[in-house]
Amino acid sequence: MAWCIAAPACSAAPVVADRDPVTMEILNSAMGYIKEHHPDAAAFIREDAVYTADTGDKRKLGYSKVIYNGGGWVVSIGHAVTVDLIYDITADYSNGKIVWIGRSTDGKIGEDSYKLAPQK
């Protein structure tokens, strides 16, 4: 599964040179996991979504985080700066309509919680 990650020029490949390939791979894996395990969310995960990365002031001593925005999703990927890298992931669609929380350890995605807001 390939997502379009915004850069100076958008590419269908999941890795663009000026972005962190590790967090981009985690983004791809997490969105793929959500799509596969939560059919109600799958309709909101577009293959043609363009994600932009923001590291801004999200870095603090001992913790690194990047936030990807695209296709109505805000995906936060962060990790404590330790020997064993465990990435914390939060994917939020449409300001809380869908909230998925998980982690990536050794390239494997795990789910901590999934919440679908009640439809009005």
Q: Where are the domains of the chain?
A: 4-116
Q: How many CA atoms lie within 13 A of 3 on its CB side?
A: 25
pTM equals 0.79
Confidence of residue 61 (pLDDT cuts 50, 70, 90): confident
How does 28-54 read in b/e, with b if 16+ C-beta sit within 10 Å? bbbbebbbeebeebeebbeeebebebe
* Least confident stretch, 1-10, 23-32, 83-92: 1-10
